[in-house]
Amino acid sequence: MALLPAAQGVQPAACGAALLAGGPSFLNLVLSHDLGPLWHHCLQSAGLLETLPSESADALRAARMAAAAAYLRQRAALAQVDALFAAQGIAYLVMKGVFVRECVHPDPALRPAGDIDILISPQDRRRAASALMDSGYTVNALPENLSHEATFSHGQVDVDLHWHILRPGHTRGDMTDGFLARRQRVNGVWGLCDTDALFVMLTHPAFAKYVCSPNMGLGRVADFFMWIERRQVDWPAVLTMLEVEGLKTAAWTMLSWCQMLAQSEAGRAMDEWLATLRPGYLRAGYLRAWLTHDLPSRWLERPLLIQLGFILPLHDRPADALRALQAVWQARQNRERDRRLLLGDE
C-alpha cells in the first residue's frame, strides 16, 4: 500500500483513502521509507491534501520540503564534482537513486537520497580523492570497504566514491570501464545507460541491502516500478549481462520480492522476466523461503548467517560463490595497499 503512488494508473483518490484508512501507523511507515514527498505530490496534484487530518498533511508537507532542500544541496554538489572531474579529465557517472530520480520521477526532488553514489575507473581513484579533499571534503574510508568504495563528506552532503559497483568477486569480470563507456547524460547528470541502470537495480541491492531487509527501503522498489513503467526496457540485453556475470539468481530473487510488492498488473508484467531467470527448483524454493519469512530482516543482527545462508546462494554457480569468498579474503589482506591506492601516504 505504501507503494501506491509509484504504480502506474493508480488514482490519487485511492491513495487518499489508503492513507485515511491506515491512520498514523501507516503514515509513519510511508515517512520512514522516504515516500512522504511522493505521497504529498500525488495528493496535492489532485487537491486531496485537505481531506487528510491536519497532522498528516503537515507531516507530508514537511517531508516534501526537507527532500527539496536536500535535493538542492546535492545538485549543487554534483555541479561542483562535475567541474572538478572535468578539469582533471576523470570520467564518472552517478548511480542509483540520485540518477534514477532524474529519469523517472515527476519531480526529481520527490526522491530523497542519503548520499551521492559516483562511479569512476579504478585507476582514477587517487586523483578523484585528491580533487574532492582539495575542495573541502573529508574522507571516511572504512577498511572493510576499501576494495571498492570510500565516502567523502562536505557539510550535509556525502559522496560515496565507487571504483567497482560491488565488492570485487561478486561479478565475474570488472564492469566499471564498460559502464563508463556507455554512460548517458540526463538533466545535466552523467549516469548509467538504461540497460546498465536496470542491471544495477536488480543486482546491487541483493548483495548490499540483503534484498528485503530494512536496509533496502521501499524507495528503491518505487524506483524500480517507475523505471520499468516509464523507460524502455531491453530485457534481452539485461539478461545477457546477468548471464555473463553469473548473477541471474540474484536478479531472480530481487525481482521475486518486487513482484510480491507490486500491484497485480505490474506483477504480471514481471512473470516473463522471472521465467528467464529462475534457478533450479530446490534453490528457488530455498531463496523464496528467505523472502516469504523475511529472514534477512529477522536475522539482520547476525550478518554472517545472512552472508553464508543467503548471499552466497545468490551466485549462479558454486565457482561464483567460491570466487566471492576468495575476494573477501583478498580484500582483507590488501587493505593497506588499497588505502595507499586511494590516499597515497596520507
* DSSP string over 298-317: HTTT-HHHHIIIIIGGGSSS
Pairing of strands 189-191, 184-186: antiparallel
User: Which pLDDT band, with edges at 50, 70 and 90, does 9 fall under?
Assistant: confident
Per-residue confidence at 276, pLDDT binned at 50, 70, 90? very high
- How many other C-beta atoms lie within 10 A of the C-beta of residue 336? 10
- Is 106:41 a contact under the CB 8 Å cutoff? yes
Q: How many residues does the chain have?
A: 346
163 with 120: CB under 8 angstroms? yes
Q: Which three cell numbers stand for residue 209?
A: 541491502
Residue 91: closest CA among 200, 199, 178, 204: 178
Are the CB atoms for 142 and 103 separated by under 8 Å? no
| Stretch 21-35: mean pLDDT | 96
**How large is the average pLDDT for residues 333-338?**
93
Q: What is the per-residue pLDDT across 45-59, written as a single tens digit (0 to 9) for each? A: 999 999 999 999 999
CATH of the structural domain 73-192, one choice from 3.40.50.80, 3.40.630.30, 3.30.460.40, 3.30.479.30: 3.30.460.40
Max distance between CA atoms of the chain, in angstroms, equals 60
By DSSP bridging, strand 184-186 and strand 138-140 are unpaired
Q: Is the pLDDT of residue 200 over 70?
A: yes
Render pLDDT for 212-267 as a digit per residue (tens, 0 to 9).
999 999 999 999 999 999 999 999 999 999 999 999 999 999 999 999 998 766 66
Q: Where in the chain is the domain with CATH 3.30.460.40?
A: 73-192
pLDDT in tens, 145-174: 999 999 999 999 999 999 999 999 999 999
Residue-wise pLDDT for 246-261, tens only, equals: 999 999 999 999 999 9
Q: What is the pTM of this model?
A: 0.94
The predicted structure's pLDDT at residue 267: 66
SS3 assignment, position 102: helix
Q: Which of 48, 49, 67, 65 is nearest to 57 (CA)?
A: 49
**241, 182 Cβ separation under 8 angstroms:** no
Give the count of beta carbons closer than 10 Å to the beta carbon of residue 69: 12
C-beta neighbour count of 193 within 10 angstroms: 17
